[in-house]
């Protein structure tokens, strides 16, 4: 679909952005859920680097270790859809306060804003396409 004149690179960018935002939301929610877990280290991903990696290739390479030849392949580590996770802060693993709730809430609000803006941009792009089709039919 990325070679089509109707569905151009903008659709790829917006859909990848929505996917990455959803995965980042899950990481942040996991950090909040494990706030009281001893030894838990909060994780996050770099949105821009992950998006750049995802947009760098047109098709993801699919491969993981399979225990049976009939299993479906998974996402390869070098794939643009594999995400580099990192610990958000240097934390003492022996204390309960390894997750800073203020940082995590800030991250989740920022991620929510990015997701909503991207969804709105995709909706407007589809509206332009719909209007173009309707006008061409008249």
Summary count for the chain: helices (H), strands (E): 3, 2
Average pLDDT, the chain: 78
- Domain housing 103: 9-136
In the structure encoding, which two tokens stand for residue 129, read together? 């396409």
**Residue 39: left (phi > 0), alpha (psi -120 to 50), or beta?**
left
Q: How confident is the model at residue 19 (pLDDT cuts 50, 70, 90)?
A: very high
Q: φ, ψ for residue 43 (rounded to 5)?
A: -120, 155
Structural domains in the chain (count) = 1
| 85 is a domain residue | yes
Asked whether the beta carbons of 16 and 1 are under 8 A apart, the reply is no
Question: The whole model's pTM is what?
Answer: 0.66
Tens digit of pLDDT for each residue in 86-118?
565 555 545 556 788 999 999 999 999 999 999
Q: How far apart are CA 23 and CA 95, in angstroms?
A: 27
| 126 is a domain residue | yes
| 2 is a domain residue | no
- In the prediction, which pLDDT does 1 show? 47
Q: How far apart are CA 41 and CA 114, in angstroms?
A: 24
| 3 is a domain residue | no
Give the percent of the chain with pLDDT over 90: 32
């Amino acid at each position: 679909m990325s070679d089509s004149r109707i569905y151009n690179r903008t659709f790829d960018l917006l859909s990848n952005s929505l996917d990455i935002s959803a995965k980042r939301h899950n990481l942040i929610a996991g950090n909040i859920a494990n706030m009281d877990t001893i030894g838990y280290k909060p994780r996050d991903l770099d949105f821009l680097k992950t998006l750049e990696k995802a947009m760098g290739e047109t098709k993801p390479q699919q491969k993981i270790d399979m225990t049976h030849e009939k299993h479906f392949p998974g996402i390869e580590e070098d794939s643009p859809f594999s995400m580099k996770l990192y610990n958000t802060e240097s934390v003492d693993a022996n204390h309960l306060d390894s997750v800073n709730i203020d940082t995590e809430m800030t991250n989740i609000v920022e991620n929510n804003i990015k997701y909503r803006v991207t969804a709105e941009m995709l909706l407007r792009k589809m509206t332009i396409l719909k209007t173009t089709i309707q006008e061409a039919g008249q």
